[in-house]
Amino acid sequence: MNFNIDLKELAIRESEKVEWKENGNDADVSKGITKTISAFANDLSNTGGGYVVCGAKEIKDEFGFQKVYYTGLSSEKLNEIAGKTLQNCRIHISPSVVPIVQELNNPENTATKILVFIVIASPKAHSYRDGEKSAYYVRIGKETREAKNGILSQLLVTKQEIPPFDKRPNPHTGVSDIDILLFRDCMDGMKLLQQDKPLEDFFSDTEQIAEFVPPLLVRDRLSSKLCLRNFALFLFGKKNIITRNYPDIYTVISVYNDTDRSAATAERYEFSGSIIEQAKRALEILNIQANTIFDKTSHKPNQVKYPKRALQEALINAIVHRDYEIPEPVRVTVFSDRIEINSPGCLHWGVDREKFLSGKAGPKWRNQSFAYLFNKLQLAQSEGQGIPTIIRIMKEEGCPPPVFEVGRENVLCILPAHPRHKVFLDK
């Protein structure tokens, strides 16, 4: 099969789709090529696969811009690299990957060739085995990186190797671990109670509490006993059961009387148990920060320090869309001039980073059941509206725009206080 590869076109493509290797016969380089091939096959970014080009390297031109220099490969070296790489793909990648191999003319030296491995995205998740160690690799930007924590879960969920976290069964739980009073209150708040249907009817693996939510319970594959799905545990479970299974899943609020952490902590709150209860109790504390000052000289005499709606959206986003496989709490830090809300876990792989930062990203659910039920409880906006709402509300209230920082293992939302409050504090 001929893909009519254009080297000039590859040189200007996104770095996440192309890996350049000057050579490939060295053992470590050969392993690196194989890992990259498995990463392209895993295709976490949904780009369709990728290319590994041997006999070329990235350099900088006289102006400091990136360019590709074609060193080329001799016929003997090309055959050696191709044979070794295909062998590695059979031995070290599971399930095996067979890349398409093409030889191209070197545009800078007709005596040598360029070797290209074309990798097509696979519907399966491929691991790389080296001795006793087995790991999954993905492409993030121009790097081939081992998939860990949330990224690994995203890969396995995307490839349907495992169910999403919120729908996954928890084998250490059962029907008796549901907090019935909390469940009744939530069902009432969501307007899902039915007079002719006892609550206990929902404690099964067949009855759904809402259209887009699976049954609360599911049968464990090994023991066949009924156990709670994670969303049922996190929303309606007894506090001690949630804490026993996930001791690091809580919300912590720290309040400082200054602009940095060097000041003594004035107040500290920790909320555990149901994430619904965590959200409600944390909101009570945050709403205290949304105090109002009166300035009769202004055309808008009553000015809140933080809009309550923005605080709610930021907090609920952090709780609902976080990565619950990272053993870290949601951290809310209140300073005298801003509030920082830190949510564990990287941005969902399906969300464009730049669009997210500008509030224009489409809806993507990491925990669909959480998002849907929080919306039914009127604690969260409809899909995809949280970030745009925060941006809009802050602007309408005259506050500085919110700041969103996307890290490898966290998403941070910073809400600056209205500048008029600083003026009053300085008086």
Q: Tens of pLDDT along 188-218?
A: 999 988 888 888 899 999 999 988 899 999 9
**Cis ω on the peptide bond leading into residue 95 (within 30° of 0)?**
yes
pLDDT of residue 400: 93
**What is the pLDDT averaged over residues 29-58?**
90
Provide the whole-model pTM.
Answer: 0.74
pLDDT at position 328 over 70: yes
For the chain, the maximum distance between any two Cα atoms, rounded to a whole number of angstroms, is 85
Q: Is the pLDDT of residue 15 over 90?
A: no
pLDDT value at position 293? Answer: 63
Spatial separation of the C-alpha atoms in residues 20 and 37, rounded to whole Å: 12
pLDDT over 70, % of the chain: 90
CA 418 from centre of chain:
30
338, β-bridge pairs: 416
Cβ(168)–Cβ(345) under 8 Å?
no
Query: Residues with Cβ < 8 Å from 414, sequence gap 6 or more?
Result: 338, 339, 340, 341, 402, 403, 404, 405
Q: How confident is the model at residue 319 (pLDDT cuts 50, 70, 90)?
A: very high
| Over residues 41-52, mean pLDDT | 90
Higher pLDDT: 258 or 11? It is 258
More confident residue, 383 or 133: 133
CB contact at 8 A, 190 and 183: no
213 CB contacts (<8 Å, ≥6 apart)?
231, 369, 372, 373
* b (16+ CB within 10 A) / e for 196-206: eeeeeebbeee
pLDDT in tens, 220-264: 877 788 999 999 999 999 999 999 999 999 999 999 988 888 777
- Sorted by where each starts, the structural domains of the chain and their CATH numbers stand as 7-162 (3.30.950.30), 166-243 (no CATH), 251-426 (3.30.565.60)
pLDDT for residue 407 is more than 90: no
**141 with 16: CB under 8 angstroms?**
yes
Residues whose CB falls within 8 Å of the CB of residue 85, separated by 6 or more in sequence, listed in order: 24, 30, 33, 34, 37, 99, 117
Reference 347, options 366, 362, 334; nearest CA is 366
Instruction: Please give the pLDDT value at position 3.
Output: 64
